[in-house]
Structure 1
């Protein structure tokens, strides 16, 4: 049929479009700083906040970068990530499970505060170590939400004492607005559907 597009025409248009896109991307990259320690927040009601954080820890390990994990809630859980990191990668990743379970499990505010403070003291020591390139503070946002830790003090420490090339990842729903404002990278996980609402319990390999 006269005037019909040919595969050659489609390929040419696609190549021209991709060339324009590459030029735009190259311009956007001009002048960007190559290396900076980032403050990263994973929050929101959806699943995957800790999972994303542990994915970043595994990337660090793959690059031979020393890293560390401090868990503020799931200390009593036997999780897959804890097994893997402590049994296979302890030479590159320190793992500190400082929590005692969710606050509705302990039902003891003073005990929860003490556990959160121990976790934060450990986190401070790890963050101050310039050899450690990433520190994951798993579920710290829960401790901040309930007032177990002072969010202003946490943010001030991260601003003033974090080494320039150290990445710190903070996970948990309901991240304080001040933390979100201070962060370099914020991802909000949105809940669309969750199997728990259909009567399906947490399962190995998915939740832990």
Structure 2
């Protein structure tokens, strides 16, 4: 059962950055999505550099909720060494994906852009696009962005900046990412 709080939409419109080198940035963003859906809010999720994720399958099978899900699926620059030419091609692909998916925002209450930080850090996502989005998004659209290495200019514009810190991770013992846990 969805429970809409009175006047909830009037309180929306803040910007979140969830960053750092630890595990849990996407998980934190998805937690905000789940809370929003539980309150009857309309959500759009854009995942960059991800495919075959547990959250993708979950949301694709979720009924009775207003959610739009889009993925830009090239391999994450953290896991693949791209040549300068590959990065330029990736930038064009991402620009096309962005133009196709960052519209109709007035239809949503919450927008999650997962892995924004790496897109900015690898210069395949223009910082100006994010600044323009922050400055010109619908007034009551809550914006959540995740990923490592956000530039200070974006963090300065955010209302929330949370840093997930790596203290210990099984990867340090050669345990690879596991379906259902890390993705």
- Name the TM-score, length of structure 1 as normaliser: 0.76
| Backbone CA RMSD of aligned residues | 1.8
Deviations 1:166-203 (A, max 9, x none): 01111100011000000000100111001001111111
Q: Is contact 1:70-1:97 (8 Å) kept?
A: yes
Counterpart Cα distance in 1 of 2:72 and 2:63:
19
1:97 matched residue in structure 2? 71
1:90 is displaced (CA, Å) by 7.5
Number of matched residues? 170
Q: Which runs of 5+ in 1 are unaligned?
A: 1-33
Distance in 2 separating the partners of 1:158 and 1:122:
18
Rg larger for: 1
Q: Offset at 1:100?
A: 1.1
Matches of 2:94 and 2:63, distance apart in 1: 25
1:192 to 2:167 alignment:
yes
Query: 2:88 aligns to what?
Result: 110
Q: 2:97 and 2:81 mapped to 1: Cα distance?
A: 16
The answer on whether the counterparts of 2:12 and 2:109 sit within 8 Å (CA) in structure 1 is no
Provide the rounded CA distance (Å) in 2 between the counterparts of 1:88 and 1:36. 24
**TM-score, normalized by length of structure 2?**
0.85
Higher relative contact order (CA 8 A, sep 6+): 2
Secondary structure of residue in 1 paired with 2:61: helix
2:41 aligned partner: 65
Question: Match for residue 180 of structure 1?
Answer: 155
Choose between structure 1 and 2: higher helix proportion.
1
**Cα–Cα, structure 1 residues 99 and 114, in superposed 2: closer, same or farther, change >3 Å?**
farther
Instruction: Provide runs of 4+ in structure 1 moved above 6 Å.
Output: none
Q: Quick one: distance in 2 between partners of 1:97 and 1:153?
A: 18
Are 1:98 and 1:118, in contact at CA under 8 Å, matched by a contact in 2? Answer: no
